[in-house]
Structure 1
């Protein structure tokens, strides 16, 4: 049985802000959470992924840049070559290039967006602050490529039948389906409110009952449920949301969809958020 992963990512992990990895398995329409691990370094996270020989993972970081941006900067227009180009840049170079692009554009449309961003409600993948998803991609995608992962619709990996499948996930999309715009998390301890705790409970309850369009039910132990509720940062819950999206993708693959439910019309430079 293939291992499913959900990852809440950080571009600069530390003891204070760790990368969180949720492990699970799919049994028909039930997603069993097996365990949650936390990592304070990119090296430790990569080693954990390397230790698993077969997995399908949903990762909360962008896998591609807006085509409009890539073409404006004159960067390579095929995905792997573009990511290789991007990986060679420093974060300061990325910020300088992206800021110059934004500064030349009118107020209200500073950032370019991918086609998937509108459907998923996600930030532009070129944002370097609030949240710094451009840096997350800069740290995460090269690491996944180094593991020989396949990126459906973008890159076939290092084998004809890939053992590791990486999918772009976005927990906020699934959370909003249940909660609307109600906040369920914060890294600011002063914002760890009763209202957010109740929202986490409501979200977890909906996942357990299968009350989303993904038609999957999350299975948790009492201890796991309590731990997800207690994590006011929402990092563990976000990893679980990504796990559920990865499970949905696995059901699509099992039903004969070679690209794990990603649309056949997706832009093969920009990428796509799974289940958007």
Structure 2
């Protein structure tokens, strides 16, 4: 089983965690279903079920080494994440804001080695999007579930969790065009067209990942019509997970020289 996850650090019925579940068959990624999880407890239960999967998850798996060393936190991933989990969100915000305030304009945030390559937000960012809180909410649940995280943590090899980033694949397909918004006023026809263009490119296999997405007409319409982009983002992560699965264990397409504290975004 393959999975792609669009994550929320504070999921609700209105803004759930979206899981795209599917499989790969002959170079095609088949979307079987979308699952919506309305709480972190439901996400934890999903991770812990005894079944084999490879998943791409849209949240950071690590912090920048530069930041961790500056703060004097543990520089091994497991211990660093254990320390991070003991902090509350207010402390995280204050600590990271103080770090940024002491740095020159233009280089406020510390970045992981691949952030700029992938176009991803720094994993210490606490607003727009609050990926630091996503890491804080999600990674302890991965560890609690005992999953395997290639390059960072040895766990149950039948459940493989990889950091994914839908924006990396979306930009390959439609450049910097915006395709989603949670704000009703910004859910425009231009963004709808961008989502349709992404779907057309995925279905035609026009990506460097060498995979084609297989959708029913109803699935295509559902993904296009979700103006938040959450369902589409989960599917983009599913395609990245399929690419990783094709590369297989033990690296799943991750580079040999990835930083074992920072991790890596699959296919970056």
Q: TM-score, normalised by structure 2?
A: 0.98
Question: What is the distance in 1 between the residues matched to 2:44 and 2:37?
Answer: 9
- For 1:262, the equivalent position in structure 2 comes to 254
The answer to whether residue 236 in structure 2 is matched with residue 274 in structure 1 is no
Question: What is the distance in 2 between the residues matched to 1:144 and 1:181?
Answer: 31
1:104-136 Cα distance to aligned partner (Å, 9 max, x none): 101111100001101101010000001000000
Question: What is the distance in 2 between the residues matched to 1:147 and 1:48?
Answer: 9
1:54-81 Cα distance to aligned partner (Å, 9 max, x none): 1110000000000000000000000111
Query: SS state of the match for residue 271, structure 1?
Result: coil
Question: What is the distance in 1 between the residues matched to 2:239 and 2:121?
Answer: 21
Question: What is the distance in 1 between the residues matched to 2:159 and 2:89?
Answer: 27
| TM-superposed deviation, 1:52 | 4.9
Q: 1:54 aligns with which of 29, 37, 52?
A: 52
Gaps of 5+ in 2: none
The answer to whether residue 228 in structure 2 is matched with residue 236 in structure 1 is no
The answer to whether residue 246 in structure 2 is matched with residue 251 in structure 1 is yes
| TM-superposed deviation, 1:203 | 0.3
Question: What is the distance in 1 between the residues matched to 2:250 and 2:208?
Answer: 21
| TM-superposed deviation, 1:48 | 2.2
- For 1:24, the equivalent position in structure 2 comes to 22
The answer to whether residue 119 in structure 2 is matched with residue 127 in structure 1 is no
Q: Tell me the matched-pair count.
A: 268
The answer to whether residue 85 in structure 2 is matched with residue 87 in structure 1 is yes
Matches within 5 A, 1:1-276: 3-157=1-155, 159=156, 162-253=157-248, 258-276=250-268
Question: What is the distance in 2 between the residues matched to 1:206 and 1:102?
Answer: 39
Question: What is the distance in 1 between the residues matched to 2:63 and 2:130?
Answer: 13
| TM-superposed deviation, 1:51 | 2.6
| TM-superposed deviation, 1:49 | 2.5
Query: SS state of the match for residue 10, structure 1?
Result: coil
| TM-superposed deviation, 1:53 | 1.4
1:218-276 Cα distance to aligned partner (Å, 9 max, x none): 000111001001100000000000000000000001xxx52100000111100100000
Question: What is the distance in 2 between the residues matched to 1:37 and 1:77?
Answer: 36
Gaps of 5+ in 1: none
Moved over 2 A (4+): 48-52
Question: What is the distance in 2 between the residues matched to 1:119 and 1:108?
Answer: 17
Q: What's the RMSD between the two structures over aligned residues?
A: 0.9
